[in-house]
Amino acid sequence: MRPILLKCYLGKSGDAQNMLLLYEYTLVVVFKGKRSDFPLSSIRGLIVSRKKLIIPLVIGGIGTCLSWLALSLGWYHYQTNLFLVFLFFAWMYYGFLGKDGLELTEGKERHVFLIKANHFVLNTFINFVKARMFQVPPKQESISFHLATKQSWEEQELSTLYTHSSLENEGFIHTSYISELKISYEKYFSPNEELVLLGVDLTKVEADVKINEVPSRNALFPHIYGRLNKSAIVLLRTVNSAQDLEQKTID
């Protein structure tokens, strides 16, 4: 199963039936339990706009007219007709006001998903996705790698920033160049541990990055002195064995 880069709920927090999942190259929309996958390369637009609700608008409008007609002609009970006039008008007004909807344009198709999400969180997610849609491929020499436990990574799916216990304990997040990656894996992790591999473009890291020599390894290692902005992550993989860290597999 592919790791999730970023997650956002379309309704209440924790509602797995209505959420957005951003993977390495794919945006997944889960709406009312139905999943739709959209490759980032195919998305042409992603905005939040106000959408009128057609069914309440039409039924409310027709009901208001009929109830008013019945009231004016004296049909049935006066109080009942008056109540129905207000009821259908309120429903029509509700449809006119509408709801916020996430509008996704893919080629000539337009998809709309009604939402109740926190606007700040949703707009942050959308801006993150848009930046990723137009991301310039990194140069190979600027990429370093970090291994995270699956549990730690999944606990931070809702945040645009990633942190590691080493940041608090040592003042920085460890990363390795590809030549040292497999050694780091074998030295610090057990073969059965569930891991996630992050490929980080060092030129896009917002925190300070220092290339430090580690004498015990006789090699240079990039250290990130702050939380890692996920926009700098250009590769995301699950790791089940040392073979998953071979250069041909990562590429």
Q: What is the pLDDT of residues 149-178, one digit of tens each?
A: 999 999 999 999 999 999 999 999 999 999
Q: Which of 85, 59, 41, 238 is nearest to 150 (CA)?
A: 238
pLDDT at 122 over 80: yes
Q: In what order do the strands lie in the sheet with 208-214?
A: 173-174, 219-225, 208-214
Six-digit token string for 52: 């009128």
Strands 228-229 and 161-162 come out as antiparallel
Rounded-to-integer distance, Cα 242 and Cα 248, Å? 12
44-53, 59-68, 76-85, 238-247: least confident range: 76-85
Rounded-to-integer distance, Cα 108 and Cα 112, Å? 13
90 Cβ neighbours under 8 A, 6+ residues apart: 60
pLDDT at 249 over 70: no
Q: Give 103 or 69, the one with higher predicted confidence.
A: 103
| 67, 118 Cβ separation under 8 angstroms | no
C-alpha dihedral (77, 81, 83, 89), degrees to nearest 10: 180
pLDDT at 83 over 60: yes
Unique residue bearing structure tokens 């339990």: 33
Q: Which of 163, 166, 135, 160 is nearest to 234 (CA)?
A: 135
pLDDT at 196 over 90: yes
| 135, 85 Cβ separation under 8 angstroms | no
Rg of the chain's alpha carbons, rounded to an integer?
Answer: 26
Average pLDDT of every residue of the chain = 89
| 234, 199 Cβ separation under 8 angstroms | yes
